[in-house]
Amino acid sequence: MDLGFFVKGMIIGLSIAAPVGPIGVLCIRRTLAEGRLAGFVSGMGAATADAAYGMIAGFGLTSIASFLVGQQSWLRLIGGLFLCYLGFKTFLTRPSDETIASKKQGLIGNYFSTLLLTITNPMTIISFAAVFAGLGVGTSQRDYQSSLILVTGVFSGSVLWWLTLSTVVNSFGKRFNSQRLVWVNKVSGIVIFIFGCIALIH
């Protein structure tokens, strides 16, 4: 049963991480520009946020969940503005500046930027709560172990996705010269900026 919850959690983690959104675009761009580790660490920030929201939903921390959902307008505003900033910055970044920027920001900066972007979407808690209820994982004390196993599976599935994505994208990295990276930055910047505008509109 425990293994079953873990496998279900991995499937949930994969399904949440796999759709290409602003985090996916960032991961792809950073992998092409800075290498596989930079892309993978970026994905880890999102995986950590998903696991945190999963724990809030799975352990029945309703006061925290209610507070975050109640503040979603402000959180989306922060996330939307940050996405617009990242999109604008990415659009203007030249490949020659990439090495300098990556040294300044570092892997820690990559991690926390995606962690912040994912945390600013508290509706994820509602998704987790619905999934957990559907799987029969309640909030009573006897279910805490099942919840922990499920959340561990979610985190593992998300990590697996980001590792796979960064590895696959990195295999194509050698084909991207400076000229192509310019276009990668411009396209990525526009897409990220659009995601930011959508978040602000909502």
pTM here is 0.76
CA triplet 41, 45, 47: central angle to 5 degrees? 105
Q: 140-193, pLDDT tens digit by residue?
A: 555 677 778 888 988 999 999 999 999 998 888 766 666 667 777 788 888 888
Name the domain count of the chain. Answer: 1
Task: Tell me: pLDDT of 100 over 50.
Answer: no
Long-range pairs, 105-111, Cβ under 8 A, ≥24: 107/37, 107/38, 107/41, 110/30, 110/34, 110/38, 110/41, 110/42, 110/45, 111/41, 111/42, 111/44, 111/45, 111/48
Residue type (1 letter), 76: R
Which range of residues forms the domain containing residue 128? 2-201
Residue type (1 letter), 125: I
pLDDT band at 122 (very low <50, low <70, confident <90, very high): low
Q: Quick count: other Cβ atoms within 10 Å of Cβ 101? A: 15
| Distance (Å, whole) CA 146 – CA 144 | 5
Long-range pairs, 123-128, Cβ under 8 A, ≥24: 123/69, 123/72, 124/16, 124/49, 124/50, 124/53, 125/53, 125/56, 125/57, 125/65, 125/68, 125/69, 126/57, 126/69, 127/16, 128/53, 128/54, 128/56, 128/57, 128/58, 128/154
| Distance (Å, whole) CA 72 – CA 149 | 28
CA triplet 45, 85, 23: central angle to 5 degrees? 30
Q: 5-48, pLDDT tens digit by residue?
A: 788 888 888 887 877 788 888 888 888 888 899 999 999 999 99
Output 141 or 113, whichever has higher pLDDT.
113
CB 83 within 8 A of CB 196: yes
Helix axes 178-201, 22-34, angle to 10 degrees: 160
